[in-house]
Amino acid sequence: MLHNFFSIFVQSIYLSHMSVNTSSKLNETVSWVGKWTFVLAAAGSAVGLGNIWGFPYKAGTEGGGAFVLIYLLCILAVGLPIMMAEIMIGRRARKSPVNAMKAAAIDSGQTSKWQAVGWGGLVSGILILSFYSVIAGICLNYILIAANPTPDISSLEQFNIVTSSPSRLMFWHSVFIALNIMIISAGVISGIERMVRLLMPMLFILMMVMVVNAMINGDFARGLSFLFAPDFSEVDATTFLRAMGQAFFSLSLGMGSIMCYGSYMPQEENIFKTSLTVAGLDTLIAILAGLAIFPIIFAYGLEPGAGPGLVFVSLLSAFVDMPLGNIVGPAFFALLSIAALSSAISLLEPSVAYFEEEKIVSRFSAALTLGLFAWVIGIGSVLSFNDWSDISFIGDLNFLDSIDYLANQFLMPIGGMMVAIFAGWFLKPDLALDEFSGIHLVIFNIWRFFIKYISPVLVAAVFIYQLVS
Ligand code: PFF
């Protein structure tokens, strides 16, 4: 795995100096230029705010190493088979998720209504982007705050100052959406490929710097045992379900992002090996995030289960006290912002690709319109931190939490389960085998077994659990 990552890294540096002259206008023919670009782009989509904060926090409260072990099982039993199915469907059609699902269905003699799975993905992508951008905007703002912390203000007061100001949140939300529109409208090759080649190695280096910082300034031994000492007494049914949900969200499945990136994957690349590498990198970075955060939390006597304020409130106060904190702090928030940006572009790309492919509007107009759409919905999330904080939308959830709930608890699991059901039960096995060219027959049969019986049942279990709990 490390060897793999090293070669990706070296190639990225090399490729980022290459001039790229492939036009991205003809969407049908677009293909990533660099051999490792699919891996970098898909890992960029997968590694996001969810991993860097969500994984360590859940691992910590759900039994440490026991959770990590169950999480790995979920990645292998559910994440990997669905990821392979998404890439396979995307690459064989070389089209956006809506049309890729339609093509796979028609070629298998099924109804074209399967394209609804693609549509669901487009809708949830825009919905997730709307609130993801507000939180990523806070990360951007914290790069400056951590560089120049205001003396005499506690980090909690600082967090309240940031979130109580709609205009401040709106400003950073707008900056983040604008960055997305710029990257996406530059195209698949000149925008996304160039960005991920630059962002992903930067993210990895910054993560290593943060882990080294945790070794020097943190209580590393305690952080290690908090994350890895398996405590099976904490494990119950919810641990399995949480690990499953985390694996699913973390790999960006059920939304069309990976299917869309798969449609740009060169024909000669091996889908099984690349999926394994992406899932491995996603897990590696999540574990490194835990190693970067918890030693600091312990060394400064902070609360590891502090919830959403963990990185903004707890870590900021640690950075203020730490030697060179005004360098390490901004570096950490830059890392979070980079991870969020490379995830966010994959939320916008599937719908932009559809609009471009159907020749409804140009790539730029599609990116602008859909980005603005997400921006407008995001205003509700900005206000849920302040003016609308008491207004409930779904149940007693505020606007941001309602959108989060709708997209993550409904649209994504249903999308993932439908992809599994389609690939396992409705897609002609020959078509899949054809696209998986080079795959060992034993691995293909294992994949078929999992995508047919194991993955959909496990996703359904999580989905039903969320409905009844
Ligand atoms: N995988 C991202 C994270 O862990 O933060 C979130 C995400 C990005 C989910 C893109 C879905 C997606 F399509």
Judge if the beta carbon of residue 51 lies within 6 A of ligand 1.
yes
Nearest protein CA to atom 7 of ligand 1, as residue: 252
Place of tokens 């031994």: 221
Judge if the beta carbon of residue 347 lies within 6 A of ligand 1.
yes
Judge if the beta carbon of residue 346 lies within 6 A of ligand 1.
yes
Q: Which of 134, 250, 408 to mutate to test the pocket of ligand 1 (most atoms within 8 A of CB)?
A: 250
Partners of 230 in the β-ladder: 64
Judge if the beta carbon of residue 185 lies within 6 A of ligand 1.
no
Question: Measured in angstroms, how far is the CA atom of residue 43 from the centroid of ligand 1?
Answer: 10
Q: Which amino acid is at 197?
A: R
pLDDT at 63: 74
Nearest protein CA to atom 13 of ligand 1, as residue: 252
169 close to 163: Cβ distance less than 8 angstroms: yes
Q: At 153, give phi and psi (nearest 5°).
A: -115, 125
Judge if the beta carbon of residue 336 lies within 6 A of ligand 1.
no
Q: At 323, give phi and psi (nearest 5°).
A: -60, 140
- 154 C-beta neighbours (distance < 10 Å), count: 13
Nearest protein CA to atom 11 of ligand 1, as residue: 252
Q: What is the C-alpha to C-alpha distance for residues 413 and 419, in angstroms, rounded to an integer?
A: 10
**Please, how many CA atoms are within 13 Å of residue 86, restricted to the half-sphere of its CB?**
32
Give pLDDT tens digits along the chain (469 positions).
444 544 444 444 334 433 333 333 334 568 888 778 999 999 999 999 888 877 877 777 777 788 888 898 999 999 999 999 999 999 999 999 999 999 999 999 999 999 999 999 999 999 999 999 999 999 999 999 999 988 888 888 999 999 999 999 999 999 999 999 999 999 988 888 888 888 888 888 888 988 998 999 899 999 998 888 888 887 887 787 778 878 878 999 999 999 999 999 999 899 999 999 999 999 999 999 889 888 988 888 887 766 666 778 777 888 888 888 899 899 989 988 999 999 999 999 999 999 999 999 999 999 999 999 999 999 999 999 999 999 999 999 999 989 988 887 778 888 999 999 999 999 999 999 999 988 999 999 999 999 999 999 988 887 787 677 6
Is the CA virtual torsion 196, 198, 200, 203 positive or negative? negative
Q: Name the token pair of 306.
A: 């502090």
Q: At 230, give phi and psi (nearest 5°).
A: -70, 120
Judge if the beta carbon of residue 246 lies within 6 A of ligand 1.
no
Put residue 229 in one of left, alpha, beta given phi > 0 → left and psi -120 to 50 → alpha.
beta
pLDDT at 270: 93
Q: Name the token pair of 421.
A: 């059901």
357 close to 99: Cβ distance less than 8 angstroms: yes
Question: Which of 287, 260, 345 has its CA nearest to residue 69?
Answer: 287
Q: At 95, give phi and psi (nearest 5°).
A: -135, 170
pLDDT at 431: 95
Judge if the beta carbon of residue 46 lies within 6 A of ligand 1.
yes
Q: What is the C-alpha to C-alpha distance for residues 367 and 373, in angstroms, rounded to an integer?
A: 10
Judge if the beta carbon of residue 127 lies within 6 A of ligand 1.
no
Q: Which of 128, 134, 176 to mutate to test the pocket of ligand 1 (most atoms within 8 A of CB)?
A: 128
175 close to 340: Cβ distance less than 8 angstroms: no
Question: Measured in angstroms, how far is the CA atom of residue 394 from the centroid of ligand 1?
Answer: 22
Judge if the beta carbon of residue 48 lies within 6 A of ligand 1.
yes
Judge if the beta carbon of residue 255 lies within 6 A of ligand 1.
yes
Instruction: Note if the pTM is more than 0.85.
Output: yes
Question: Measured in angstroms, how far is the CA atom of residue 8 from the centroid of ligand 1?
Answer: 21
pLDDT at 24: 39
Give 169-179 pLDDT, tens digit per residue: 999 999 999 99
27 close to 55: Cβ distance less than 8 angstroms: no
For 221, counting Cβ atoms within 10 Å of its Cβ (0-12 exposed, 13-18 middle, 19+ buried), the class is exposed
- 386 C-beta neighbours (distance < 10 Å), count: 14
Cα dist. 28→93, 96, 183, 456 in Å?
9, 9, 19, 30
176 close to 341: Cβ distance less than 8 angstroms: yes
pLDDT at 307: 60
Q: What is the C-alpha to C-alpha distance for residues 212 and 145, in angstroms, rounded to an integer?
A: 22
CA angle 375, 376, 379 (to 5 degrees): 90
For 303, counting Cβ atoms within 10 Å of its Cβ (0-12 exposed, 13-18 middle, 19+ buried), the class is exposed
Judge if the beta carbon of residue 49 lies within 6 A of ligand 1.
yes
Alpha helix positions (H), 312-397: 315-321, 325-357, 363-384
The helix or strand, by DSSP H or E, that contains position 275, with its residue range, turns out to be helix 271-299
Q: What is the C-alpha to C-alpha distance for residues 204 and 282, in angstroms, rounded to an integer?
A: 11
Is the CA virtual torsion 246, 354, 372, 345 positive or negative? positive
Nearest protein CA to atom 10 of ligand 1, as residue: 252
Query: Residue 256 CA: which ligand 1 atom is closest?
Result: 13
Judge if the beta carbon of residue 45 lies within 6 A of ligand 1.
yes
Judge if the beta carbon of residue 343 lies within 6 A of ligand 1.
yes
Q: Name the token pair of 431.
A: 């078509």
Give the list of residues 6+ apart from residue 452 with CB closer than 8 angstroms, or none: 424, 425
Nearest protein CA to atom 12 of ligand 1, as residue: 252
Q: Name the token pair of 116.
A: 């609804």
CA dihedral 45, 49, 53, 59 (to 10 degrees): -40
Q: Which of 133, 249, 345 to mutate to test the pocket of ligand 1 (most atoms within 8 A of CB)?
A: 249
Q: Which amino acid is at 173?
A: H
192 close to 184: Cβ distance less than 8 angstroms: yes
Judge if the beta carbon of residue 250 lies within 6 A of ligand 1.
yes
